[in-house]
Amino acid sequence: MTDRDTHFGYQRVPEHEKAARVRGVFDSVAARYDLMNDLMSMGLHRLWKRLAVFIAGARAGDRVLDLAGGSGDLTRLLARDVGPTGEVVILDINRAMLEVGRERLTDAGVLDNVRYMQANAEALPFADGSFDLVTIGFGLRNVTHKDRALAEMHRVLKPGGRAFVLEFSQVTQPLLARVYDLYSFKLLPKLGRLFANDEDSYRYLAESIRMHPPQAELAAMMQTAGFGQCRYVNMLGGIVALHGGVRL
């Protein structure tokens, strides 16, 4: 792999094309994003997100950045925790996903302490030290330059601020890994075709998980980006991992 190409699932594409290709995937699935997550995780993504927010420990009055905020699941929970004196900025590169998130959060009555922004996680439009907490849930694997996104997360945090990355990861148990591969590559694309008329997007999402850095490698990337106290916890045998770090 050269500095001019990167992976898009198992394909190799020019770096400048990846963001547009990822945008196309999420334009396609935006209206069915919850269905997509339920199919990919068998509904467990809701539990994983609640656990991630509990561990993140947002406090009343905190300013929080929810990167790749998607349809607003993390933002809804975070907005509850920061309360009326805090603020959550939900940021996504994809306008269709932000529109889904805004509609869902509005329907849930989450209005006054949430702000929406369309931007790239690799170049955040915020000053240094702007946030107490940064989260990204199931989005880092779609970023072209993950190292840049991690460095930006570090930059916009206040000293002592925390970052948490919730992402599909590397399964640690061989038998579970075989079952998971069968589900991901045989069943999931067929479910995508059946329920969302979109087999290719679901195949990409399964492939993107396998191309994401495994747990120890991502922890090392966070350290390189400047984070201290980098730790991770596996969920369901490593199907998902929650990484955390602190800006010292």
pLDDT at 27 (0 to 100): 81
Widest distance between CA atoms in the chain: 48
pLDDT at 93 (0 to 100): 93
Cβ neighbour number for residue 112 with a 10 Å cutoff: 8
Lookup result for tokens 């929650």: 242
Tell me what the pLDDT averaged over the chain comes to: 93
pLDDT at 3 (0 to 100): 55
pLDDT at 122 (0 to 100): 97
How much is the pTM? 0.94
Question: What span, in angstroms and rounded, lies between the C-alpha atoms of 79 and 200?
Answer: 34
Question: What span, in angstroms and rounded, lies between the C-alpha atoms of 43 and 186?
Answer: 18
Does residue 1 surpass a pLDDT of 50?
no
The tokens for 111 are 């209005």
pLDDT digit string (tens) for 60-87?
999 999 999 988 999 999 999 999 999 9
Question: What span, in angstroms and rounded, lies between the C-alpha atoms of 150 and 226?
Answer: 9
Report all structural domains of the chain as residue ranges with CATH numbers, in order of start. 5-172+204-247 (3.40.50.150)
CA–CA distances in Å: residue 228 to residues 108, 123, 216, 224: 36, 22, 14, 9
pLDDT at 149 (0 to 100): 98
Question: What span, in angstroms and rounded, lies between the C-alpha atoms of 248 and 241?
Answer: 23
Q: How would residue 140 be classed by pLDDT, with cut points 50, 70 and 90? A: very high
- Choose between 81 and 4: higher pLDDT: 81
